[in-house]
Amino acid sequence: MTAALCLVVSAQAVEAQEPGAPVVLAAATTGTPAERAQATLAQMTQDEKLTLLKGYFGTDFPPAKFEAPKEARNGSAGYVPGIPRLGIPPQWQADAGIGVATQGGAAEKRPRTALPSGLATAASWDPELAFAAGKMIGSEARADGFNVLLGGSVNLMREPRNGRNFEYTGEDPLLAGIMAGAQIAGVQSNQIISTVKHFAVNDQETDRNDGNAIVEEGALRMSDLLAFQIAIERGEPGSVMCAYNRVGGLHACEQPFLLNQVLRNEWRFPGYVMSDWGAAHSTAAAANAGLDQESGYGLQRADWFSADKLGKAVAAGEISQAQIDLMVTRILQSMYAHGLVDNPVSEGHPIDFAANRAVSQRGAEAGMVLLKNERDVLPLAATARRIAIIGGHADKGVLSGGGSSQVYPDGTNAVPGIKPTSWPGPVVFYPSSPLEELRKLLPGVQIDYAEGTADPAAAVRLAAQADVVLVFGTQWASESIDVPLSLAEGQDALIDAVAGANPNTVVVLQTGGPVLMPWVDKVPAIIEAWYPGRAGGAAIARILTGAANPSGHLPATFPRSLDQLPHPGDPRKGDIVYDEGAAVGYKWFDKHGHEPLFPFGHGLSYTTFEIDHLVVTPEGEGLVAMVEVTNTGKRAGAEVVQVYVSGMGWEAPRRLGGFERVELASGETRQLDIHVDPRVLATWFTGRPGWTHPAGAYTVSAGHSSRELDDSVTIELPPSFLPPEWRPAKS
């Protein structure tokens, strides 16, 4: 049903409602979600309609003397009252994309299962794993009585120092959109709503409330917006969360280009738009621009979508009644479409933490990236009789990221008291010790631990006595801050000194994103473990020992130095001009001939793979790349076969065109059909809105990373044009 038709039906239905007519409860309505929404809207009073347009913070907030509504779920991020007279349930909203996060003080904390970071999930390049991860955290949300999960985070890594990069899915729009979309679909398989956020260009935390992102429209369409477009197509989220920042001068939650033109008119998004908590800045301007629901009253007090302000705006003709009805209809339609009415949630259901930790551990193992492994130092050899573990609190647990996405473990914070202990902290280590897990897997091996930074000399002495040294490097990141691309508190110097004392030094990184590595040439092996989640210690131990074969590949480029970045200086305030356009991440490096520390798509294994016999044929407006991959090593493993495309006049030499993760036994060969989305072959010209690719020769390459391509072919393609509303057919 089109928006215009919805408005006509809405007006007719409201006029047809007789005073005193029998009430039809929401659950008793029939038809499509759109038809059911219209039937319910026709019975609603104006006060009831306005009730659905304002959300509250779900937890008491003492600094602001705010008491959450008594019907809210304890520790939750948000609450929108329902309409009991009509059987419309409340919306109980919980953070976030890594697990069920709780807000407030100690009394509100709910111990729940943390996934690895969003970047770790993206590093698996495995949509099925992302779906399973989303399904798991969605099940915990439902068990807690939440029917809206504020996840689906897909902002591109334009700024590698962004403190929220760990929540997101990397630097490439195709990979980011596919992985986020799969996780959204997994969450919603529990008959609850997932959001996709933060719409749009919310790519740094510095000046996040007022910073003005400026990107040329065509470049924006081919980068940040394409990531959202793909995530929405694949995940079909019930809601979009608009961002704090400005885009093109207007706050994102009152930017009609984003919310009305792109999201509604072109992408045909049927759900509703909620604001980030405090991201609304007006009443009539925001409502007319496409914002449906203001969220988080209590954390902020502007109260732009209060019944009083909305009512006055309608009376003054600043907002039409038809617009109010449309806003309500979108919310109701999404609630019907995703089961909130027909499968209502309730609190207090048991959670199988053991099973859910297993899901988290599988994700952590699949997302860890073996960056370097000279002399086959890993996996840890059975002949290593003495291992030294240094730093990173590896004797206690594994690090997690902070802010609103912080998931609290079933168990205590393994390393309490690290500052900051309040917002944007606390710093939380999950009680999953890599040291203890290694001792379980390596019985009879002497494993000693030194804290490291407090007494580097003692750590160096311990390292000199060991057969192998494992140094754990950590970088804490969080919402509301941006972070340097470095390891804090002297960790780089510690790694350098330990490597000087023992040539068999392995570095295990737990970081929110890329970091610089001044010691990279002095250590033979490096593993990027990201924030590995609730069972991260066990996952790290299995990767180090070879009980699990590493298969992760980088979803973001690791630079050698800051001067390789488009904007080497500190994150900016005010107008943030992204003049690199669509050349984000590896595209920038390729365009300017920079040699990265580790390229996008890079990831090693304990076995080896060969990719060849590439054949490319047209498929609709896109392509299909048929390629063979063989495990040429001596043990089973998984490879991510990546297909890149090159055309004329693009923002960069190549773009990721498609990928597939495949598990192979030793000696096994598999043929893959990797489909290339036609939008990846095209350019968006502002003067001709849509996806255009001219006739000519296009090069298609298959390989192991953006810089390691095994086979290439050239194909001649006719000209093609796809309109803005084009989307691929559902498979």
636 burial level (CB within 10 Å; 0-12, 13-18, 19+): middle
In the structure encoding, which two tokens stand for residue 557, read together?
A: 């480029």
Q: Which of 691, 709, 538, 545 is nearest to 611 (CA)?
A: 709
Helix (H) or strand (E) segment spanning residue 708 = strand 708-717
Cα torsion 452, 457, 460, 462 to 10°: value is: -80
Report which DSSP code applies to 611.
Answer: E
Active-site residue flag, 496: no
Find how far residue 189's CA is from the centre of its chain. 18
CA angle in degrees (0–180, nearest 5) for 524-525-528? 150
Is 285 strand, coil or helix? helix
Is 366 strand, coil or helix? helix
In the structure encoding, which two tokens stand for residue 728, read together?
A: 């691929």
Q: At residue 318, what is the residue type?
A: E
- The CA distance from 323 to 287, in Å, is 8
| Tally of CB atoms within 10 A around 52 | 26
- The CA distance from 448 to 444, in Å, is 13
Q: Which of 394, 435, 398, 377 is nearest to 604 (CA)?
A: 377
How many alpha carbons lie under 13 Å from residue 117 in its C-beta half-sphere? Answer: 31
In the structure encoding, which two tokens stand for residue 83, read together?
A: 């309409």
Inter-residue contact 465 to 446 (CB < 8 Å): no
Q: Which of 438, 430, 437 is nearest to 534 (CA)?
A: 430
Q: Which of 678, 679, 686, 693 is nearest to 647 (CA)?
A: 693
Asked if the peptide bond before residue 379 counts as cis, ω within 30 degrees of 0, the response is yes
Is 623 strand, coil or helix? strand
Q: Which of 276, 325, 395, 677 does the annotation list as catalytic?
A: 276
Tokens 């003067």: give the residue.
Answer: 687
Active-site positions?
Answer: 276
